[in-house]
Amino acid sequence: MTGYQPRHASAPSPRGHEPEGCLTVAVRLPVRVVMFVLVLPVRLVWDGLVAAGRAFRRGVLGPVGRALSWLGRVLLVTPARWTWHRLVVPLGRGLAVVFRWTVTALFVWPWAALWRYVLLPVGRGAGWLGRGLAAAGAFLGRVLVVVPVTWVHTRLLVPLARAVGRGCGLLGRYLFVLPAVLLWRHVLAPAGRGTGLALAWLWRWLVAAPAAALHRYVLVPLGRAVVAAVRGTGAVLLLLGRYLLVVPLVALYRWVLAPAGRGLALVVREIAAAAAVAWRVTGRVTAFLLRGAGRVLYVLLVAPLIGLWRHVLAPFGRVLRGWVWQPVAAACRAAGRALRSAGYSVRSALRAARASVRSARAEIRRALFGVPRSREREPLP
């Protein structure tokens, strides 16, 4: 296919090399011209919005975002971090220590003392008393109950039960078992055999033989006739459905719907391809126009600003930094170092004075009151 092809177009089908019809070629050129005319304003507006958005992001949103980030870090993050590390964390640690000691003094130590000095001794005494009572009860139960019951069971109940069991076994054998065996062997078994033979003969000639004859000579021929009638009816209905429904529907699809669908698909495909080609071509046109407008803006606005910055503001900034800012910063740093060294010397002098005062106070206390006795604090439970 001749003409401009977009880069993002799909791969050609295996039948793409086949010659195309005159209808396709006749539809393609007008559709592409119309789509180019329709798409060009849309592409111009789209590319203009994209360029404006990029410029707005680079020139406005980026600096504003960086400024807001710096302000947030200076005004919020740094004070919040200092407050957390210098105030909240030490205060929380102190409150945690106070709460732990309070809970220990109010709940742990009283319950530990109660357990150690009250409940544990009472429990041990109750355990000893319970074990003694259990031993005494076991001894009394063994002497007063177990030994007499064992003697009665061994000497009286076991021989009596054996004798009664033998007598009942002999009575049951001669009164029930032997008569029942004789009755079954000589009366019930012969009667059952004769009754079974009679019932089997009656079932064979009164039920089985008539049922077999009914199935063979009545039901089987009737079923075959019903199956033949159903098959014939189904064949007739199948022929009627084929020539009254299927054949007209196939003809409608083959000669009406399929050509209309192919034409509609051709139109839609050509419109989509023309839109893609017009989008690409208008993109190049708008890129050329925007590039020219950008060059004009650069020559009229950006180049003078760059020259002003490069030849006026930057040299003035370097002179200001070298002759004003750096000497002032060096003087401030020297003053800060001097102040820090003076502060270190003052703090060291104060520490030495506090140490000498503590030692003098300790000497006076020892001279007046003597050496105090060391008192060891008993650990709490």
Are 381 and 116 in contact by the 8 Å Cβ rule? The answer is yes
CB environment 331-346: b (16+ within 10 A), e (fewer): eeeeeeeeeeeeeeee
d(CA 288, CA 290) in angstroms, rounded, equals: 6
Tally of CA atoms within 13 A in the half-sphere of 92 that contains its CB: 7
d(CA 146, CA 45) in angstroms, rounded, equals: 111
pLDDT for 172 equals 77
d(CA 274, CA 29) in angstroms, rounded, equals: 9
Two tokens, residue 272:
């989509």
pLDDT for 16 equals 45
| pLDDT at residue 196 tops 50 | yes
Of 19-28, 47-56, 67-76, 178-187, least confident by mean pLDDT is 19-28
Are 48 and 287 in contact by the 8 Å Cβ rule? The answer is no
166-181 tens-digit pLDDT: 878 778 777 777 788 7
CA distance from start to end of the chain: 98
In the DSSP assignment, the letter for residue 16 is: T
pLDDT for 6 equals 43
In the structure, what pLDDT confidence band is assigned to residue 27 with cuts at 50, 70 and 90?
low
